[in-house]
A and B are shown apart, each in its own frame.
Chain A
Amino acid sequence: MKSAYERSRWWEPRRLSSGLWAFMAHRLSGIALVAYLFLHLAVLSQLWGGPARWDAFVALARSPLLLALDVLLLATVLFHGLNGLRLTLLGLGYGLRWQKLLFWVALILTLGLAGWGAVAMLGR
């Protein structure tokens, strides 16, 4: 008697293996960036409302909350891009022995550059 398969789930952080964390974070950041793209297009459509409407949005965008969200966006873009480079290298058969190290390098660079961006944006 065969019953249905039980399938593994990609969003399941079963343990602290860096490859799985990288995979989950890459997917989540990719989904977030696609969602942001649509949000970005929606925001740009404010231009149809004329200069006054756009200026009002720009004022809102300079609020600390939205600047903090910008920092989060920057971190998302950085991680997705840097981990994408890691995956490209691995997918071509390069650096396989250092796949865990490459994940940590991508993460540290993400945090470092996002931190630098946070200081630049919020420290004004």
Chain B
Amino acid sequence: MSHTVTLHIRRTHGWADYVVTVADDAYVLDALEAAGRQDPTLLFRHSCHHASCGSCGLRVNGRERLACSTRIDEVWRPGRKLRLEPLRNLPLLGDLLVDLGPVAARIETVGLPLIRAVEPEVVHGRIAPCPSPGEGGGEGSSIALASPVNQGGEPAPTCPPVKAEPGATYPSRPANLIRFESCIECGLCISACPVAGSDARYWGPAALAAAARVAAEPRGRDVGAALEQVDGEDGLWRCHGVFECSEVCPSHVDPAGAIMGLRRLRLGGHGR
């Protein structure tokens, strides 16, 4: 079985239709790739095909989604066109392609340890002290998630770049494990946020959720500095509580909840 779908794509200089035939269990990205084979000038981005890289975000029928994890039959009905548009509130590079650089730059500014090179050893719900000074290196304790290998083929050093704080608690319930570390920096939250559309200086949901992540699990980061950065009229207090960012987040990070939680922390004097 297959679907013949008309993609109604917003290109840089106007709308264009592409009729493509895809399998009935195809995803939007499969249809886009079929359109790309028809017209190699069509600009869009993708990489992993399984909702991990965050590069294929766009608007499908007006709603922010990842093209790779949105099935055609979820969003399209026979006889109708499937409308595809680029994300908003981000610099448009062309067709469906936006510059995600500002998202990554702001997350990085907050000081998030994005690359989890190591995983702290957790014993009875607490991060354990260093079992072996020779292996873990220093006061904090960590064990390698996998066996990382350097480009030269040599095993990477097990010494963690960011050490866990001995005695720090880990979330005790599964619900508490929903955290920013799942963020794939796709920019869907920025596009869906009506406040980001009205204030270009606004830090945006992703970066503010990153700050919440630093506050929740500092792992050696300076919580006060991270919170100080986002504690302003273009940061925490600009959010209007629309919760659209949490609605569209494909990784269930819940940026809106993180922002509200940060406000509570700040009002309680945390990080000052």
In the complex, the answer to whether B92 meets A3 with C-beta atoms within 8 Å is yes
> Which of chain A's residues has its CB closest to B200's CB?
A5
Binds B, one of A14-22, A39-47, A65-73: A14-22
Q: A87: which of B91, B195, B241, B261 is its contact (CB, 8 Å)?
A: B241
Q: A91: which of B91, B93, B200, B241 is its contact (CB, 8 Å)?
A: B241
Q: Within 8 Å CB of A2, what residues of B? A: 91-93, 99
B12 within 8 A of A: yes
In the complex, the answer to whether B88 meets A6 with C-beta atoms within 8 Å is yes
Q: B91: which of A5, A19, A92 is its contact (CB, 8 Å)?
A: A5
A10 to B196, CA, bound (A): 10
B170 within 8 A of A: no
> Which of chain B's residues has its CB closest to A96's CB?
B257
In the complex, the answer to whether A8 meets B93 with C-beta atoms within 8 Å is no
B161 within 8 A of A: no
What is the size, in residues, of chain A's interface with B at 8 Å between Cβ atoms?
26
A93 within 8 A of B: yes
B86 within 8 A of A: yes
Contacts of B5-34 to chain A: CB distance below 8 A = 12
A93 to B193, CA, bound (A): 19
Q: B261: which of A5, A96, A99 is its contact (CB, 8 Å)?
A: A96
In the complex, the answer to whether A8 meets B261 with C-beta atoms within 8 Å is no
B1 within 8 A of A: no
Q: Decide if the interface of chain A is mainly helix, strand, loop or mixed.
A: loop
A104 within 8 A of B: no
> Which of chain B's residues has its CB closest to A23's CB?
B242
> Which of chain B's residues has its CB closest to A83's CB?
B241
In the complex, the answer to whether A19 meets B194 with C-beta atoms within 8 Å is no
A23 to B194, CA, bound (A): 9
Contacts of B224-272 to chain A: CB distance below 8 A = 240-244, 246-247, 256-257, 260-261, 263-265, 267
| Range for the number of chain B residues in contact with chain A | 35 or more
A113 within 8 A of B: no
| Number of A-B residue pairs with CB-CB distance less than 8 Å in the complex they form | 89
In the complex, the answer to whether B99 meets A10 with C-beta atoms within 8 Å is no
A124 within 8 A of B: no
Q: A6-B88, A92-B267 are in contact. Are A17 and B243 (CB under 8 A)?
A: yes
Q: A92-B264, A93-B260, A96-B260 are in contact. Are A15 and B63 (CB under 8 A)?
A: yes
> Which of chain A's residues has its CB closest to B62's CB?
A14
Q: Within 8 Å CB of B261, what residues of A? A: 93, 96
In the complex, the answer to whether B62 meets A23 with C-beta atoms within 8 Å is no
A94 to B265, CA, bound (A): 12
Q: A19-B247, A92-B263 are in contact. Are A10 and B197 (CB under 8 A)?
A: yes
A-B contact pairs, 13 of them (CB 8 A): A1-B94, A2-B93, A2-B99, A5-B90, A6-B86, A8-B196, A17-B243, A19-B256, A20-B243, A87-B240, A90-B241, A91-B241, A92-B260
Kindly list 19 other residue pairs between chains A and B, CB separation below 8 angstroms, not including A7-B88, A99-B243.
Answer: A1-B94, A2-B93, A3-B91, A5-B200, A7-B198, A8-B193, A9-B194, A17-B243, A19-B241, A19-B246, A19-B247, A19-B256, A20-B194, A87-B241, A92-B260, A92-B264, A93-B261, A93-B264, A96-B257
